[in-house]
Amino acid sequence: MSRQYNPAIDAYKNMDIENMPADKKEPAGTGLLMRKSSSEESGLDVSNPLIRVAKNMQVIRQYRQEAKDANG
């Protein structure tokens, strides 16, 4: 195939989604003094588009794994 530089390869390889910190799920509180969000505590900046891309990738990869397991 072509030996031309493909930025998609580097973009994919640089997405280190395996080592991404997972979101901490706090028990849902109903009080007025409950904390609003856990995203800042877990170190994930959701306003960063790269994080959102990584999260999408994580979900799709999970489906992939399930498809692989189903196919054997």
Partner 1 sequence: MLTDKVQFNAPIPGESLTAELGGRPWQTPPKLATVDEAIDYYMERMSSEDFMEQVVDVLESGVPVATIANTLQLASVMDGIHTVDVGTLVVPVIMEMMMLLADSADIEYKTGLEEEKEEITDSKIAKAVSKYKKSVKESDIAKPKEVETKEEPEVEDEPAGLMARRK
Q: Does 25 bind partner 1 (CB under 8 A)?
A: no
Closest listed residue to residue 57, CA positions, set 14, 26, 24, 25: 14
Q: Count other Cβ atoms within 10 Å, centred on residue 44.
A: 19
Is 71 one of the binding residues for partner 1 (CB under 8 A)?
yes
Q: Say whether residue 20 binds partner 1 (CB under 8 A).
A: no
Burial (CB count within 10 angstroms: exposed 0-12, middle 13-18, buried 19+), residue 55: middle
Q: Is 7 in the site for partner 1 (CB under 8 A)?
A: yes
Size of the site for partner 1 (CB under 8 A): 24
- Residue ranges in contact with partner 1 by CB under 8 A: 1-3, 6-9, 11-13, 15, 49-50, 52-53, 56-57, 60-61, 63-64, 67-68, 71
